[in-house]
Amino acid sequence: MKKIVFCFAFIAALGCCNAVFASSALDAFKGQEGVVKVAGGTAHIPVIKEAAKRIARFNPKVIVTVAGGGSGVGIRQVGEGLVDIGDAGRSATEEEISRYNLVQVKWAVDGVGVVVSPENSVKSLSTEQLQQIFAGTISNWKELGGEDHAIDLYDRDSASGTRAVFVKKALKKGAVNGGANVVVSNGAMKTAIAGDPYGIGYVSVGHIDSTVTPVALDGVVPTIPSVQDGSYPVARGLYSLTRGEPAGLSALLLNYLLSPEGQKIVEEKGFIGVK
């Protein structure tokens, strides 16, 4: 499992200039000490990473470690007490919540957009066309006004939070053809689509850059503003979960994410704040 651990300890250098970074949102961390372990959804990582960096700069004795693994892993690991906070790109099911006594906090909103290669001339699809493409009934770009070439479908693994919201809100729970290639992360999806002129897949809107082209769904292009004003409907919350009510450093971290400064980080990383 890919594990990214961040321990920023600029102890000596920054010990004397805490005042520079002191802001009301971080004040709660004053005098605190310890480690917060976070794991789960890969979409969350950039935000938690940045928050960890700022907290460590303010108080080097508070260390936040961030690991990936996906939404399913996040929920399971926090439920089993392996980490303090589990991240999920979907709401935990009632069964998961009651089994582990979980409490979830939503701190950002993220859109999921259909993407194709920049070389592809098809830039707009209707929900019906999208359903047919992913079901396999439309299997050639020619049928959509593109080149005469088979469509290469790219899908995510079934534990992916991105996939869960895509199937529910973009495909309206339509089937995905079993012949689709399956990739393991938002990053891998972007690499695959960027390299395949005949591919179609979907990524978190925060991940869309110049290597892939977003496809308008029913006339609305998935962008941060269109997700924000609700005109692009395929969106999901980014959640953090704790076992029982958040306490100690976990509570402080979640409060920080919901503070104006935390919400600013959320927006800087390409997501939409909840406050």
Binding-site ranges for other proteins (CB under 8 A): 69-73, 75-76, 96, 99, 149-150, 152, 154, 157-160, 175, 177-184, 191-192, 195-196, 198-199
**Which residues on adjacent β-strands are paired with residue 153?**
200
- Closest contact distance (angstroms) between CB of 52 and other proteins is 23
Residue whose pair of structure tokens reads 């690499």 in the numeric block: 191
CA 146 to each of CA 150, 184, 265: distance values in angstroms, whole numbers, following the listed order: 10, 28, 39
Tokens of 85: 């906070």
Q: Provide the minimum distance between the beta carbon of 82 and other proteins in the complex, in angstroms, as a whole number.
A: 12
Smaller CB distance to other proteins: residue 116 or 265? 116
CA of 252: how far to CAs of 68, 135, 198, 248, in Å?
Answer: 21, 45, 46, 7
30 versus 142: smaller Cβ distance to other proteins: 142
- Name the nearest CA neighbour of 41 among 77, 80, 7, 94: 77
Q: In the chain, which residue ranges form alpha helices assigned H by DSSP?
A: 11-14, 18-21, 45-58, 71-79, 94-100, 127-135, 161-165, 186-195, 224-228, 248-258, 260-268
Contacts of 170 (CB under 8 A, 6+ apart): 112, 114, 127, 130, 202, 217, 234
Nearer to other proteins among residue 121 and residue 181 (C-beta)? 181
* Structure token pair of residue 144: 């959509």
Q: How far is the CB of 10 from other proteins (least distance, A)?
A: 32
Cβ-based nearer residue to other proteins, 69 or 270: 69
Amino acid at 253: L
* Shortest CB 179 distance to other proteins, Å: 5
The span from the CA of 159 to the CA of 80, in Å, is: 18
- Radius of gyration of the CA atoms of the chain, in A: 20
Is 173 or 275 the residue whose CB approaches other proteins more closely? 173
**Residue number with CB closer to other proteins (97 or 220):** 97
Closer residue to other proteins in complex, CB, 37/90: 90
Separation CA 214–CA 190 (nearest Å): 11
